[in-house]
A and B are shown apart, each in its own frame.
Chain A
Amino acid sequence: MNERKKLLEVKDLQTTFFTDSGEIPAVDHVDFYVREGEVLGIVGESGCGKSVTSLSIMQLVPSPPGKITGGEILFEGQDLLKKTEKEMREIRGNDVAMIFQEPMTSLNPLFTIGNQMSEAISLHQKKWSKKQIKERATEMLKLVGLPRSEEIMKEYPHQLSGGMRQRVMIAMALVCDPKVLIADEPTTALDVTIQAQILKLMRELNERMNTAILLITHDLGVVAETCERVVVMYSGQVIEEAPTKVIFENPCHPYTRGLIQSVPDMRNKKDRLYSIPGNVPKPGSIEQGCRFAARCESAFSRCRVETPELYRNSENHQTRCFLYDEQQGVTSANEQTTTRS
């Protein structure tokens, strides 16, 4: 068993959006943790709450309409939700940094790369001289594998390609040696060959600088290649959590199983893809029972009435499904359904 300390711990987090059409619980009692130097993946389809979870950690949820309505976010034992905005600003960048999906929109088009890098450094290292700052910025650009970093310091974002912009974003996020890097779909907007470059870079940084990474993605391939542990989210809840190997070898939740099977495999051709029937429900639209019940092949009567909890099926594997509820789930499941695999 891994003895590394839990660095970031999200406990019972709830983030709700208050809109004209009612309250939408985008993140609904979510628990997970990131250990020191670990790469944790959060996977899920659009609308499952994975991005809102990451924004909640940074407290960047647009408010109004969004609001963190409950729970704790512990970073090195301290609750980030109890910090003032000023204290939070110190933590963002210094301890926890974030990179976003769109490297085009996260950089200011009116300032040079050097300008923006220096700003990020000077905000956190107030005593550094200009020369020191510039040196550090150039060094970071080199670290993320950008050629001719001196020149790039003087260039504007539009002069760089998508992959280079994402490298600049990573460099900027890492200037203050954060302990956790939150990467929200960092390669989704990039081509596969560029994606491979960026993923390799992130793996190297994780190994070399021991930065813990929280990687948010919808791509199971990216997860399999980069993450040690995976949290699967569906409709605002964590539905399964296990080490990457376990998730792919022995997926327990019917949704996880369906998701893995519906990815077309490049290595061997199937005649027909498995597909999960129906659509992802809108957050908050299901009030009773398991959120996946309507699309689930193994659903039985209990699933439509009661809400399942996360059940532990082995030491490091949890599943939110009654099939794994040892007290009564299995017996009732055997009575009610024959489709269990």
Chain B
Amino acid sequence: MNKPLLEVEGLKKYFPIRKGLIGKTVGHIKAIDDITFHVNEGETLGIVGESGCGKSTTGRTIMQLLEPTEGVVEFQGKDLTKLSATEIRSVRRDIQMVFQDPYASLNPRHTIGKILEEPLIVHGGGSAKDRRKKVVEFLKIVGLSEYHAKRYPHQFSGGQRQRIGIARALMTNPKLIIADEPVSALDVSIQAQVLNLMQDLQKEFHLTYIFIAHDLGVVRHISDRVAVMYLGKIVEITESEELYANPLHPYTQALLSAVPVPDPNYKKEQIIIEGDMPSPANPPSGCAFHTRCPFKMDVCTKITPVLAEEKTGHSVACHLYTVEGNDDIERKKQLEGSV
């Protein structure tokens, strides 16, 4: 297999919590805490998790919109965290972002033509005439028409605006697109249109996607591989088929069972986990999920499990699959046996 397009290693992003008049730092919100993964060329990596798990921060930190606290983001052999601001700018031509809110991410005072032309001006995309030609070309590619270039964002529906957001991301011929909840603000029928468009574009332009979403159905549909995040950490990462057929982490199992299936005849075993996600400012010791985990063991409160390969291409961070955890299980069995 080829070298991955993007390699993220030990990435951390801590936001300081400041208090008092002089703004003394009293703690950190560990939005992402030591995550490692890679994205191969031409694939779609889905990142799922509930709100506050750090999935959006991950996207923004890769894009260098947020400065990482620690770690390496290697894109095509270059470590983005070490580049200067001007160098980053030229890299952003190859990495583009599509945002969740198509209402907020388009300038209401610019025409669609201007919005789409801007990336070309920033990244030096030929003469004014060439640029305009390209705007029209991409409008058509995303399913809009030439006359739309003269209109303003408020004249479009949510789905159309998201198409514009995608067109804007495509203008600079990027290699990697980070899509942060691109369809969660859309109605189901429109969501399907946008997902299909993204799949078509991926084939046509050989794009690589990082697809961040909270909807597990959507992620399964579009992703080749999926990473599940909980409280700033990746708890499980594997091929999408494998993850949905055979989830290993108790959190993934609970998450999958919690999704309502649109089929009244489908009877599933629902694992309802109690409580809420703890605050990332004060995460629990050991495994962050132990406060809600149905399989909690003694070791889980003490040692943080590391993401390790359990099967080929299927990594999980859980003590049910570690040496320490197995020792714990053994001990319990012995205790039960002696009683």
Chain A residues within CB distance 8 Å of chain B: 45-46, 161, 163-164, 191-197, 199-200, 218-225, 244-245, 248-249, 258-260, 262-267, 269-270, 272-277, 279-280
Contacts and interface: CB of A to CB of B under 8 A. Distances in A.
A75 B93 CA distance: 61
Contacts of A263: 188, 192, 217, 262
Given A224-B263, A258-B189, 20 more contacts: A45-B188, A45-B189, A161-B276, A193-B255, A193-B272, A194-B50, A225-B260, A244-B264, A260-B262, A262-B191, A264-B195, A264-B217, A265-B262, A266-B217, A272-B199, A273-B195, A273-B221, A275-B189, A275-B192, A276-B189
Nearest to B197: A275
Chain B contact surface mostly: helix
A282 to B, nearest CB: 9
24 contacts: A45-B190, A161-B276, A191-B51, A192-B50, A195-B258, A196-B260, A197-B272, A200-B272, A218-B188, A221-B260, A221-B261, A248-B265, A249-B265, A264-B217, A264-B221, A267-B261, A269-B220, A269-B221, A273-B196, A273-B221, A276-B189, A280-B157, A280-B187, A280-B189
B244 interface: yes
Interface in B261-300: 261-266, 270, 272-274, 276-277
A341 B177 CA distance: 39
B326 to A, nearest CB: 27
Interface in B208-226: 214-218, 220-221
B192 A262 contact: yes
Contacts of B254: 193
A259 B50 contact: no
Contacts of A262: 188-189, 191-192
B153 to A, nearest CB: 15
Q: Which residue, of A194, A199, A220, A245, has the highest number of chain B Cβ atoms within 10 A?
A: A194
Contacts of A194: 50, 276
Contacts of B159: 279
**What band does the interface of chain B fall in when counting residues whose beta carbon is under 8 Å from A?**
35 or more
A237 B50 CA distance: 34
A192 B193 CA distance: 23
Interface of B: 50-51, 157, 159-160, 187-193, 195-196, 199, 214-218, 220-221, 240-241, 244, 254-266, 270, 272-274, 276-277
Given A193-B50, A262-B188, A266-B244, A224 B262 contact: yes
A244 B199 CA distance: 32
Contacts of A274: 192
A269 B192 contact: no
Contacts of B216: 192, 266
B47 to A, nearest CB: 15
A120 to B, nearest CB: 24
Contact of B260 (A46, A197, A219): A219
A161 B266 CA distance: 31
Nearest to A189: B51
Contact of A196 (B217, B258, B264): B258
Nearest to A275: B192
Contacts of A161: 276
Contacts of B264: 224-225, 244-245, 248
B292 to A, nearest CB: 8
A161 B276 CA distance: 7
A323 to B, nearest CB: 19
A270 B189 contact: no
A243 to B, nearest CB: 9
Contacts of A269: 220-221, 240-241
Contact of A264 (B193, B218, B274): B218
